Structure 1
Amino acid sequence: MASLDTKRVEDMNYFEMLAWLGIGSSHPGGFPATLQNLQSIQILPEDYVLDAGCGSGLTACHIAKTTGCKIIGIDISSEMIDKATQRAASEGVSHLIEFKVGNVQQLPFADRIFDWVIAESVTVFLDKVKVYREFYRVLKPEGHIADHEMALLKELPAQLKQQLEECYGSGTNPLTYEGWCQTLTQAGFQDVEIKNPQPLKNNSNLIVNALKKDWVLIKGLADKARRQPGLLPRLQKNAGFMKQYRSYFGFGLVYGRKPTPPILPKSKSFKDWLLRLLRFQ
């Protein structure tokens, strides 16, 4: 992929724009929602965590600082990985976190190695069953998924769905809360539920809110705006859509547990079968 510094903001897709701005908390509710979600789950110091779609590393670094657990963060954008690595060094958690370029639909990890997979506003843009089956594959038995995603509170008219895709990219497809649960169950998870469900608030300008609260993003932002006059109209378009139609949308934490496979009885040997046969003679 060509460097985003040489690409017009008008030609960037939503993910590329986030990477160029260095935004890692543009999910609904922003970082306050992240903190609320982390309070509702229990990540332990001995856990091994995958942050799928880690962005600029804000969530991963917070988890590492507050729990001391080991984390791997992946993102499809090398720009995001560079920013996340810089953040971890600045916040003193490089010894706990590894960041690498990777695709959540084809995770570069062996089966059954993570205790937690966390994600924030990634699955909504992708093939949900495919992503969840990959998360299931890399989780240990009794491992957990915690995926913060946008949800539909009521049916979205076709015209608005088209506008949604124009703002956030082709394939953007939020589900109802029930739909998210059904999809996670279809991938094999149990104890599926939505934690912290809530509607979008009035301050639903996700990108602007992220820019205000994340110190990593402020550096160089004024220069980006000067070099790219199309940035402000692009941000206004996204923000305007969500402001006008926010009543259609909510968000919550899609949670599930990977069950332990049932223990099958060992097959009987020929000797066991013969002794059992003789016993009934």
Structure 2
Amino acid sequence: MTSENVSNTMANIDEMMYSCGVEILHPGGLEKTFEMANDCKINKDSNVLDIGSGKGITAIHIAQKYGCNIIGVDMSSNMVEYAKQAVSKKKLSEKISFMNLDAQKLPFDDNSFDVVFAECSTVLMDKERAFREFIRVTKPGGYVADLEMSWQKVPDKKAVDKAFEIWGGFSTKTFDEWRDFYIKMGLTDIKINNFSDKMQNMEMLYIKTLGITGILKMSWYMLINKSLRRGMIEYNNFFKDSKDYIGYGYFVGRKE
């Protein structure tokens, strides 16, 4: 299976999980999303850019909780269309909008946003290129925040290569490396929240969220779709084999 096919399969797995009832795919769920938002001082006057906005779930919850204005950007036109429909149903179109574009080439003016907010997306990008854009469009004194799967310790080559293969170009950093990267990019007041312990409860959380109907629906998808079934096996084996390395956390820095 080529890298492109693997990447497409993993994207399809995410879409399958969403369609079966899982809203938040990362450990810690909305609790950690809101903690990161609080560390960014998001309030009703904030203009927020949501990177890799997917189906708009994070943007909707953030707008509902804080009353801020949000623009979400995503490379997937399907995700953007779904997000627009979801926002319309929630009657939040005056607060939230979505654009289908590359987050590494943002069309916004310098110093446009109070907060640039990313979840589980920059590990698939050229990080320096992406963060230069994130920082460029952030107002002085504003925040750049990123929640990502990270290495708890320096991984062996097998884990790095397997992660790169499964996610079609995935690469991440240890928590210390993320801190050094934020410093290198010129961000200050850096805060790191390591919640790797939440990964232990991911499977049970998914089961609880899906319920019987969602589990049956997911089982049916995998029964009729060989690539999804193979992708899920690869995904689960990777997490099992690399459990000593894989962690999750978020990183917040302020633009001077």
Other-structure match for 1:107 = 106
Matches within 5 A, 1:1-281: 12-15=8-11, 17-19=13-15, 22=18, 25-170=24-169, 172-199=170-197, 201-204=199-202, 209=206, 212=209, 224-225=221-222, 227-259=224-256
Classify the secondary structure of the residue corresponding to 1:169.
Answer: coil
Measured after TM superposition, the shift of residue 188 of structure 1 is 1.7
With over 3 angstroms needed to count, the CA separation of the structure-2 counterparts of 1:18 and 1:93, relative to structure 1, is same
Whichever of the two has the greater Rg, that structure is 1
Aligned to 1:247, the other structure's residue is in SS state coil
Name the count of aligned residue pairs. Answer: 247
Superposed displacement of residue 21, structure 1: 5.7
Cα separation, 1, equivalents of 2:189 and 2:207: 32
Contact 2:16 2:218 survives alignment (8 Å): no
Instruction: Map Cα deviations across residues 207-230 of structure 1 (whole Å, 9 max, x no partner).
Output: x9399369xx99x86775565233
Please say which of residues 146-155 and 67-76 is displaced more in the overlay. 146-155
State the Cα distance separating 1:117 from its structure 2 match.
0.5
- Tell me how far apart the structure 1 counterparts of residues 44 and 58 of structure 2 sit (CA, whole Å): 16
Q: 1:71 and 1:149, CA in 2 relative to 1: closer, same or farther beyond 3 A?
A: same
Contact 1:75–1:103, Cα closer than 8 Å, also in 2:
yes
Structure 1 109/20 Cα, relative in aligned 2: closer, same or farther at 3 Å? Answer: farther
Query: How big is each residue's C-alpha offset from its partner over 1:113-141, in whole Å with a ceiling of 9 and x where there is no partner?
Result: 10000000111122111111110000011
Q: Secondary structure at the match of 2:226?
A: coil
CA shift for structure 1 position 197: 4.0
Q: C-alpha root-mean-square deviation of aligned residues, in Å?
A: 3.0
Q: Contact (CA 8 Å) 2:103, 2:130: kept in 1 or not?
A: yes
Distance 2:227 2:91 in 1: 36
Q: Are the aligned partners of 2:72 and 2:98 in contact in 1 as well (CA < 8 Å)?
A: yes
The offset of 1:96, in angstroms, is 0.6
| Higher RCO structure, 1 or 2 (CA under 8 Å, sep 6+) | 2
Q: Per residue, is there more helix in 1 or in 2?
A: 2
**AA aligned opposite 1:193:** K
Q: Percent identity?
A: 31
Q: Following TM superposition, by how much is the alpha carbon of 1:146 offset from its aligned partner in structure 2, in angstroms?
A: 1.3
The TM-score, its normalising length taken from structure 2, stands at: 0.84
- Distance, in Å, in 2 between the alignment partners of 1:36 and 1:250 is 17
Change (3 A) 1:177 1:93: same
TM-score (ref. length: structure 1): 0.77
The unaligned stretches of length 5 or more in structure 2 are none
Deviation of 1:39 (Å): 4.3
